Amino acid sequence: MSIINCHARWAFDFIAWKPTLQELMVAVSLIQPEEKQRIAQFVFQEDFKSSLAGRLLLRYFVRSALCIDNHQFKFGRDERNKPYLMEINGSKSNCDGDNKIIDCNVSHQGSFACLAGFYDNKAPSNTEVRLGVDVMKIEYAGGRSLSEFFRIMTRNFSDNEWNYIKSFSSNQEKLQAFMRNWCLKESYVKNIGTGITMNLQTLDFQFNTPVVKNGEVITDTQLKVDGKLLNNFTFEESLLNDDHCVAVSIQNKPPSNKHKSLNFQIIKFEELIGNATPLTAPDEKYCVEILRKDTKR
């Protein structure tokens, strides 16, 4: 899977992935020991696989972008628990100071783990590009009616956004509009690092294209925060399939014509693990216990 014009948009279907014991042993050996222990705490196989897929995507992106092996870099977590590239070849990562710009972010929900990545070693050293990505399955499985669910969620959307959501006639169309809007909000707060702890009603998305269609990437949606238009953010919206929408927020997108917005590419398991040096020894006992976990379906 290639990085195209400095950008990567990759998705992995972790629900369709039914790993053998041997495949799981290989996959787990490629992530950092502390992450291995962290994801073992999940109760269900699906949650474990989604988190594992996210970590494999991050590591695959760094290997591909920097042309280094799996053991030559390390991820850390910031105060908000967001992964970041902490070390390269044993030294503290200083990509901006080294005239290298790199950022990546992952999200997993529904059937997919998704990564949005950016790398440009020719970008000006004072450029700081940041990404946030979110994927949502377009479904509602709550016990309440959709209208009651919307009522409960009222404080998370602006009046303008609710007018957009409720402008559609069918419940399915309204749900699609709701998920589209929520996906955008998540991509933005992940980009700036606040999470959904901020007042989401202060975020007011302006929709110039009413509906996102399969095969298209929408880039004309704008964001106002506290009534002020943010000019340094670009949003990319697309569909992975009929059931999953995805949004990428790009902060300080370089003023270059070479970046053409990309549809997400589906990546295969063999690509994720290809030619990567293990970080830990194969752990059959660990993986047997993972495969014994309950599933949600």
**Strand stretches in 138-198, DSSP E:** none
Compute and round to an integer the Cα radius of gyration of the chain: 20
Identify the band that residue 111 occupies on the pLDDT scale cut at 50, 70 and 90: very high
Write down the domain spans for the chain: 1-129+254-297, 138-242
**Strand stretches in the chain, DSSP E:** 7-13, 73-77, 83-88, 91-92, 101-109, 112-120, 130-137, 203-206, 222-225, 228-229, 233-241, 244-251, 265-266
Same fold, 1-129+254-297 and 138-242: yes
Q: What percent of the chain has pLDDT over 70?
A: 93
Q: Regarding the domain with residue range 138-242, which homologous superfamily does it belong to in the CATH classification? A: 4'-phosphopantetheinyl transferase domain (3.90.470.20)
pTM of the model: 0.93
* Residue count (the chain): 297
Long-range interactions of 80-88: CB distance < 8 A, separation 24+: 80/193, 80/194, 80/195, 82/190, 82/193, 83/55, 83/58
* Number of neighbouring beta carbons within 10 Å of residue 226: 8
Instruction: Give the CATH number of domain 1-129+254-297; options: 3.90.1720.10, 3.20.80.10, 3.90.470.20, 3.30.420.10.
Output: 3.90.470.20
Stated as kind and residue range, the H or E segment containing 271 is helix 269-273
Q: What percent of the chain has pLDDT over 90?
A: 78
45-64 tens-digit pLDDT:
999 999 999 999 999 999 99
In sequence order, which residues have a C-beta less than 8 Å from that of residue 125 and are 6 or more positions away?
96, 97, 99
71-92 tens-digit pLDDT:
999 999 888 788 889 999 877 6
264-283 tens-digit pLDDT:
999 999 999 998 999 999 99
Q: What is the pLDDT of residue 5?
A: 85
